[in-house]
Chains A and B, each alone.
Chain A
């Protein structure tokens, strides 16, 4: 299925649209006519909307995975909000900055980076993954360094870029081991080698070392320990719309890359030296969220504070990833760490972009509202923007009724149900710590008297973005079903990829035996098998197994001779999505239907 992407470009249509728009925008920025140059933002927005619509169409969706579609939709949606909040870039970002003629390049860079994020889930080999990661990063290096004229931006640029090159070298070293261990760069081939090694309960050290290095390298993209320390300086130094961009694009790309790469192993780390990887992920998650939150408490600069809080939120998502995917597609939310991670990623993007958009609106002055004093008492003059910001901040805390609450809830649920209760405790404690500094901003806006006269921007766009984000934070918080079902499909891509399924057909009886290794990565997951979608259709389902493995047997009886329609309708009891084909149980059922018809 993934190979189709290579043969058919249709699945990549949204990315192609984004890149073409980037080229057009780049040229429009150089236009002779002022009118044309003023239209660059509009062109960029139209391009993103067209890409969104394209990603929604069935033709495109059928050529890609649900994870790919979800990521493209998320990227285009958040990208649109980011474009709105960057509307004036790099114009009146600071009046001292007089270079007024390169906004075309700026928006072209944003679009290229968005195309990279959107492509991330559609890659099918290591080389492509490497190039997609660089396509996300290289434009961000450029916009960080050139986003505004002050020397802080250049300091941020050099730090960001050099550390980025280091991280690229580290994860490439990991990639070289992954390639060397399997002899192929194709994901499918690597998965096959992993699976055969896992069945021998012994992964070679090279594979583990490769994965460790890749995780360390990518930790830079998601701003997690150990390569997190650049975040504060870079977030502070970059222009605020760029900062908002940084809190979404590299993070989304990095997390999806991690999901894909852990998916290569089948998320299976049960015995032997393989424990290294879940242990590393757990340590990374705990350190990331704790360090982020504690350091955020000490900040007075709002952008630095958001930098540390962004580190902390990466820790939450890592905590979700430790829980791993659901064992079977269509299982409940409680067991699905990948779905929780994707949901939190979407939620975090919405909340943080909303907060940044509000901040950009309040940044009328030359150096912007960066200190917490700058937004003191702003609610009396700009109640609407302050309310948007407050909603986003409350959601970042995790107030019930907001999307942030649901996100944390799913993470805690996933961790608890898979036996990682320590992580769940850490998430909850950290959420409480985080409340302190978010509430400080809200208190400054609502309780304190204005410190300095406030200057706000005259453009509508950042305000519009903030309002949109706040509305969605509440809307999805109260009625999340649509988002949930999309994410459910996206995460099902990973679900069940760890199991093996044996199918036996005898005289109209189809027996499907699924064998799921459990273990340190999935302790306590066995109960989730009760929600196995096949269970409802089987004549008899049995569950057996010991500490380390779990066997599910389903028996189906079909009267012989079967009518073609009957058999297929059995197969169609499962959602007819190409996504589910990765789930061995579904494949087996489809196979059985085919066999019986024959």
Chain B
């Protein structure tokens, strides 16, 4: 057991527990302080740990941008679950997606970063904000009672952080080999190897040397429409189903007496 890591995890649990909204005597400031301590400790731990690993020179230890975006992501995620006002929660979620988009760019997933911003921050979260405004009993001026308190905060924090602690302990203890088998040696790094394999037998796609020339989006498109063509169709079906379902769920059940038998369309 890695005690430094265990202490950091426990501190994190404490800070989340303190930060969760509670009716009487708010402990937000203490919680925030503990949280900042936790994050600092976690960063130091990661720095030390990354320094100990072999082959760091390639990955250059702890990336500054990773630290920045990860901190923003964790803080905004904490704010989403801890803020008493739902509207702020939704806005913090937007911040979370922005931070994740930054991380995705670091991971050479530019397309996913853009998609995350457009779909999540732009579409889904706007819908959330819309529903929150629509369904606020007090017109969003006052904080509702049920947003001030939580159910079973202790249980939630304990269960979740035991899970997190287990995962992190397994991940950081001993050799990484025990947590995850090493990537097989060899020239994996030749571009995104996938494109190579798929395009090999298909001269119809003009580029004979795809790996060096093809961008991430192109590779993603090839991957999506060759390997996952059927799941893509399924995703379309699922979207249709949920569209129909949303209409079914949200419609008002107005009495439509005598619709059947008259042979007429029900009028709305």
Contacts and interface: CB of A to CB of B under 8 A. Distances in A.
Contacts of B177: 204
B179 A205 contact: yes
B262 A34 contact: yes
Nearest to B239: A138
A128 B181 contact: no
Contacts of B254: 99
B183 interface: yes
B232 to A, nearest CB: 9
Interface string B243-263: 011001100011111011111
Given A101-B260, A138-B242, A181-B180, A19 B266 contact: no
Nearest to A12: B230
Interface residues of A, number: 44
Contacts of A37: 260
A209 B169 CA distance: 12
A323 B167 CA distance: 28
A204 B174 CA distance: 12
Contacts of A128: 228, 230-231, 234
B235 interface: yes
B241 interface: yes
B231 A32 contact: no
Contact of A105 (B178, B229, B237, B244): B244
A146 B179 contact: no
B265 interface: yes
A100 B259 contact: yes
A206 to B, nearest CB: 5
Contact of A204 (B178, B235, B259, B260): B178
Nearest to B163: A213
B237 A135 contact: yes
B241 A139 contact: yes
Interface residues of B, number: 37
Interface in B160-176: 167, 170-171
A102 B248 contact: yes
B238 interface: yes
Contacts of A338: none
A598 B167 CA distance: 53
Contacts of B235: 131
Contacts of B170: 205-206, 209
A6 B232 CA distance: 12
Given A112-B237, A112-B241, A181-B181, A146 B262 contact: no
A367 interface: no
Interface in A177-211: 180-181, 183, 193, 197, 202, 204-206, 209
A206 B265 contact: no
A258 interface: no
A206 B265 CA distance: 57
Given A100-B256, A128-B234, A206-B180, A26 B242 contact: no
Contact of A32 (B180, B255, B263): B263
A112 B234 CA distance: 11
B241 A109 contact: yes
A98 interface: yes
Contact of A180 (B180, B231, B260): B180
A248 interface: no
B231 A99 contact: no
A413 B16 CA distance: 49
Given A98-B257, A127-B228, A141-B245, A34 B183 contact: no
A162 to B, nearest CB: 13
B180 A204 contact: yes
A132 B241 contact: no
A127 B245 contact: no
Contact of B244 (A26, A99, A180, A209): A26
Given A19-B237, A128-B230, A204-B179, A142 B245 contact: yes
Given A98-B255, A102-B248, A205-B170, A131 B234 contact: yes
A145 B249 CA distance: 7
A198 B134 CA distance: 55
Given A98-B253, A135-B234, A146-B249, A206 B241 contact: no
B167 to A, nearest CB: 7
A368 interface: no
Interface in A64-104: 97-102
Contact of B256 (A19, A99, A204): A99
Given A33-B263, A99-B253, A127-B228, A139 B245 contact: yes
A533 interface: no
Interface in A129-180: 131-132, 134-135, 138-139, 141-142, 145-146, 149, 157, 180
Contacts of A100: 256, 259-260
Interface in B196-248: 227-231, 234-235, 237-238, 241-242, 244-245, 248
A575 B80 CA distance: 59
Contact of B238 (A105, A127, A135, A145): A135
Contact of A206 (B179, B227, B229, B261): B179
Interface string A274-305: 00000000000000000000000000000000
Contacts of A181: 180-181
Interface in B136-174: 167, 170-171
Contacts of A6: 227, 229-230
A108 B171 CA distance: 46
A138 B180 CA distance: 34
Contacts of A146: 248-249
B252 to A, nearest CB: 9
Contacts of B255: 98-99
A576 to B, nearest CB: 28
Contacts of B248: 102, 105, 142, 146
Contacts of A98: 253, 255-257
Nearest to B176: A204
Contacts of B266: 101
A332 B254 CA distance: 59
Nearest to A216: B163
A205 B166 CA distance: 11
A181 B177 CA distance: 11
B238 A138 contact: yes
Contacts of A149: 253
B86 to A, nearest CB: 16
A202 B255 CA distance: 64
A180 B183 CA distance: 10
Contacts of B181: 181, 193, 197, 204
B245 A109 contact: yes
A26 B249 CA distance: 15
Nearest to A180: B180
B267 to A, nearest CB: 11
A34 B261 contact: yes
Residue of B171, B228, B229 ringed by the most chain A CB atoms within 10 A? B228
Interface string A299-319: 000000000000000000000
16 contacts: A6-B229, A12-B230, A34-B260, A100-B256, A102-B248, A109-B245, A112-B241, A127-B228, A128-B228, A131-B231, A131-B238, A142-B244, A142-B245, A142-B248, A205-B171, A206-B179
Given A125-B228, A128-B234, 5 more contacts: A99-B253, A99-B255, A109-B245, A127-B228, A131-B234
5 nearest CB pairs, A to B: A142-B245, A131-B234, A205-B170, A98-B255, A34-B263
Interface of A: 5-6, 12, 19, 26, 32-34, 37, 97-102, 105, 108-109, 112, 125, 127-128, 131-132, 134-135, 138-139, 141-142, 145-146, 149, 157, 180-181, 183, 193, 197, 202, 204-206, 209
Interface of B: 167, 170-171, 177-181, 183, 227-231, 234-235, 237-238, 241-242, 244-245, 248-249, 253-257, 259-266
